[in-house]
Amino acid sequence: MYKVSVYVTPKKGILDPQGATIERALPALGHTGVGQIRVGRFITLEVEGDEREAVSAEVDSMCRRLLANPIIEDYSFELSAEASGGYESGTQEAGA
């Protein structure tokens, strides 16, 4: 079993109205020197499997086909293998 964290963000050059709104609002709240804000999604899931490479390929397929829109979004993910009593550290990233 693997715990998976998926990060989805707009591709560079794609309009990000939420990021632009936050970028305009932060100075009004006293936070200066912040820029290039991109708002995305964080998705967690658990995937059954024993082989890290097979689970990684399955998660990559999920991202390309449903969790992200590869035309306008980038994605990456991290895998953590379940150890007895919790999850073992170690991550792997992939993306479009």
Query: Is pLDDT at 28 greater than 50 in this prediction?
Result: yes
> Which amino acid type is present at position 62?
M
14 pLDDT above the threshold of 80: yes
pTM of the complete model = 0.77
* Percentage of the chain lying above the pLDDT 70 cut: 85
CA distance linking residue 66 with residue 73, whole number of Å = 12
- The CATH number assigned to the domain holding 30 equals 3.30.1280.10
Q: How many domains does the chain have?
A: 1
Phi-psi region of 34 (alpha: psi -120 to 50; beta: other; left: phi over 0): beta
**What residue numbers bound the domain in which 43 lies?**
2-94
Whether the per-residue pLDDT at 62 is higher than 90: the answer is yes
What pLDDT does residue 82 have? 80
